[in-house]
Amino acid sequence: MPELPEVETVVCTLRPHVVGEKIKSVQLLRPDIVVPSETDLAAHLTGRSITAIHRRGKRIVFTLDNANGFYIHLGMTGRLTIETRDSPVTRHTHLILNLAGAQIRFTDPRRFGGIWWLGTRCTGDDRMGPEPLTLKPAQLAAALAKTRRAVKSALLDQTLIAGLGNIYVDEALFGAQIHPLARSDRLKAAQVGALLRAIKRVLRKAINHRGSTLRDYRDAAGNSGSFQDLHRVYDRKGQPCRVCRTAIERIVLGGRSTHFCPKCQRPSAHKAL
Ligand SMILES: [Zn+2]
C-alpha cells in the first residue's frame, strides 16, 4: 500500500505536469469511486485550473482556481499517472482528467482508493493527526501516552500521526529497537525520542529512493521505487537481521503482518510489554 514516501513521490512527479493546467474535460468511468456519492465531479472540475497539489498524510490534495479542492487516496493498488492522450486506456481506469497536452489517469484494480470532493474545505485535513516529518518529540509522547495499544497499532492510526503504514512503522520500530507489541503508554521519553528520529530517518531515506515497490506502486511517470531493497525487517521473514543475523520474525497484529528482529527489538530490553 502506498504510504507517505510513495504518495510524496507521486505528488512530486505529478506537480510539474498539472499545476497551472486547465481541466478541459472529465471522463468518470466509475462514478461510485467518488465520495460523497451525490457529487457531480465532472461539473465541479470541467473548465477549472489546478493551482496546487500537495500531500497530506497519504492523501493527494488538489486545489482549484475557485478555492475548491478534492483529494485522491490510492488505497492498496491505486495509481495516479500522467499519460499521453493516445496511450491505451487500461482496465480499472476510473477517472481521466484531460489537460491541454496530457491526461491525469486514476486506476485502482482493488478499489480501496477513491476520490473525495472537499469543496471549500480544501486542506483535506479532517480527523488527521500531525505530519511525522515536522512532528516534535513532545507531540509524539503526548499522542502515545493516551493509548494502551501496541505501539505498532498506534502508529498506524492516522488520527494520531498521518502517513505511516505497515512498511515504515516496522522499519522505524526496528531503527528505534522497540518491540512492535510494546505498550504505547509505557514507552520512556528516550524511546519516544529514538522512535521519532527513526521515523524521520526512514521516511526521508525512502523519499530519496522514490518509495518502495513491492507489487503495484508506481510514481506518476510509471516508475518503480527502490527502497524495498533497503528494508531491514519488512517482508524479510526468516532472513538474517542486517545487524545481528538473527532470523526476522513475522506476527499478525490487528490483521496486519508485522516484522521485527527478536534480538534487536527484545521486549525485556525496555520492559514495555
Ligand atoms: Zn537483529
The pLDDT tens digits of the residues spanning 39-94 come to 999 999 999 999 999 999 999 999 999 999 999 999 999 999 999 999 999 999 99
Which residues lie closer than 8 Å to 244 by C-beta, 6 or more apart? 261, 263, 264
Which is nearest to 151 in space by CA: 10, 273, 42? 273
Band of residue 121 on the pLDDT scale cut at 50, 70, 90: confident
Q: Give the per-residue pLDDT at 268.
A: 59
pLDDT: is 268 or 32 the higher one?
Answer: 32
Q: Give the per-residue pLDDT at 271.
A: 47
Return residues with CB closer than 5 A to ligand 1 (ion).
241, 243-244, 246, 261, 263-264
Which is nearest to 131 in space by CA: 233, 210, 33, 58? 58
Q: Give the per-residue pLDDT at 124.
A: 63
CA distance 4 to 160: 15
Please state the rounded mean pLDDT for residues 242-256: 96
Q: Give the per-residue pLDDT at 113.
A: 95
DSSP assignments along 34-66, one per residue: EESTT--HHHHHTTPBEEEEEEETTEEEEEETT
User: The pTM is what?
Assistant: 0.94
Q: Does 3 participate in catalysis according to the annotation?
A: yes
Measured in Å, residue 216 CA sits from the centre of ligand 1 at 29
Q: Give the per-residue pLDDT at 123.
A: 65
Please state the rounded mean pLDDT for residues 130-144: 97
Which listed residue (15, 48, 242, 256) is catalytic?
256
Measured in Å, residue 91 CA sits from the centre of ligand 1 at 43
Q: How much of the chain exceeds pLDDT 70, in percent? A: 96
Q: Give the per-residue pLDDT at 218.
A: 95
Q: What stretches of 180-261 show up as alpha helix (H) in DSSP?
A: 189-208
Helix, strand, or coil (residue 204): helix
Measured in Å, residue 233 CA sits from the centre of ligand 1 at 9
Listed range (9-13, 121-125, 200-204, 238-242) with the worst mean pLDDT: 121-125
pLDDT: is 273 or 241 the higher one?
Answer: 241
- Whether residue 272 is predicted with pLDDT greater than 70 in this model: the reply is no
Which listed residue (56, 58, 218, 232) is catalytic?
58
Q: Which residues on neighbouring strands pair with residue 157, listed in sequence order? A: none
Measured in Å, residue 217 CA sits from the centre of ligand 1 at 28
Measured in Å, residue 146 CA sits from the centre of ligand 1 at 29
Q: Does 131 participate in catalysis according to the annotation?
A: no
Measured in Å, residue 171 CA sits from the centre of ligand 1 at 12
Band of residue 273 on the pLDDT scale cut at 50, 70, 90: very low
Cell 497539489, residue located: 53
Measured in Å, residue 74 CA sits from the centre of ligand 1 at 33
CA distance 145 to 78: 34
Q: How much of the chain exceeds pLDDT 90, in percent? A: 92
Q: Does 2 participate in catalysis according to the annotation?
A: yes
Where does residue 20 fall: left (phi above 0), alpha (psi -120 to 50 degrees), or beta otherwise? left
Which listed residue (3, 8, 83, 249) is catalytic?
3
Measured in Å, residue 31 CA sits from the centre of ligand 1 at 48
- Whether residue 130 is predicted with pLDDT greater than 70 in this model: the reply is yes
